Amino acid sequence: MANILYGVNGEGAGHSTRAREVITHLQECGHAVQVVSFDRGLANLRKDFDVAEIFGWRLAYVNNQVRYRRTVARNLLTARRTVASVSRLKNLIDEKEIDLVVTDFEPLSCHAGRRKHLPVISIDNQHCLTNTDVSYPRQYRRDASAAKIVTRLMVPRAHAYLVISFFDAQVTRPNTFLFPPILRECILKARPREGEHVLVYVTSPAPALEKLLASVRCSFVAYGFGREGREGNIVYKKPSLDGFFADLIAAKAVVANAGFSLVTEALHLGKPYLAIPVAHQFEQVFNAYWLQKAGYGVYWEGLNKERVESFLYNLPHFREKLANYPRQGNDALFAKLDGLIAELTSPSGGNSGRGRN
């Protein structure tokens, strides 16, 4: 059995949500796992796992838009705090007698592991952009180039990249393996049904969207608007993991930002998706573009009544496409991860070869 350092990016909830599934699997296999994270990742995981707080690299936002070049510049300015955190991680590696590092888009654990000459395994969806042959809208080439730079800086020279994706892609980089999305056990076991409401989720208040949805003849259940109660055709709800899960299971469709975790959970449950990517957050644009390309829904950067009504009118078409969505569990990725850990922590060591699961 191995002593594993598991780095979890703390921005948003998606990284910690899937990391929880992987960490639980590793512990069930008998491995000792020391988790390191910050912000949401720290808050979401510390109740159930041994989590140490670290300094975190963050995306830079201006007027609710991601700025990739500013992200690079801002994180370079935190070099002193980064060096101190890496030093603490190196001490933790020695203290815990760490054999191997696993990282979910958390860079400092990767850098500390490399400096201690430990094998590093990356698990995330971001490296789909850099390690596979994929397309995206031409108008986003500039944002895509910046996103690629950030992605390469976050987890450089890992021994293996386990990339999760809800669409198929050709692997182009060595030691890269493509897998279906990591899903929560409750999603895998869920029995979805088609209710009367559309689930709405935003990460920040969106008064223009509220006004627009109020004009559409449809029932909406909305999260993320900072209030609760019924107003016309919209039921606003306060944050609740259980409540949101129940409303997702029963929704006839989803209108939301294009974060990877919610998109992939909704698709697995057969829910057509109207995606509203956060402006200049290329990862969300990328998710939304491929969601639409696969026929599982649509995306718009700017909504109007006609576009929402068109989405609702075409729900049968999207459901037909979703009927063939490849619903798989986490077993394939777990099996590959188990094999890599055994290989990379064996006395002979060695790197895994290039391939696709």
Per-residue pLDDT at 68: 56
N- to C-terminal Cα separation, the chain: 24
- Three-class SS of residue 205? coil
Distance from C-alpha of 181 to C-alpha of 164, rounded to nearest angstrom: 5
pLDDT in tens, the chain (357 residues): 999 999 999 987 899 999 999 999 999 999 999 999 999 999 999 999 999 999 876 655 544 455 556 655 665 556 677 888 899 999 999 999 999 999 999 999 999 999 999 999 999 999 999 999 999 988 989 889 988 988 998 999 999 999 999 999 999 999 999 999 999 999 999 999 999 999 999 987 789 999 999 999 999 999 999 999 999 999 999 999 899 999 999 999 999 999 999 999 999 999 999 999 987 788 999 999 999 999 999 999 889 999 999 999 999 999 999 999 999 999 999 999 999 999 999 887 554 433 445
Domains of the chain: residue spans and CATH: 3-182+330-344 (3.40.50.2000), 187-322 (3.40.50.2000)
270-281 burial string, b = 16+ CB within 10 Å, else e? bbbbbbbbbebb
Contact 130, 145 (CB under 8 A): no
Contact 263, 278 (CB under 8 A): no
Residues facing residue 4 across a β-bridge: 33, 100
Per-residue pLDDT at 60: 53
Listed in sequence order, the residues at least 6 apart from 102 whose beta carbon sits closer than 8 Å to its beta carbon are: 4, 5, 6, 7, 22, 26, 120, 121, 122, 123, 337
Per-residue pLDDT at 42: 95
In sequence order, what DSSP letters do the residues of 302-345 get, joined into one string? S--HHHHHHHHHTHHHHHHHHTTS----SHHHHHHHHHHHHHHT
Distances (CA, A) of 318 to 187, 293, 298, 313, 314: 20, 11, 9, 10, 7
The DSSP letter of residue 163 is E
Per-residue pLDDT at 356: 43
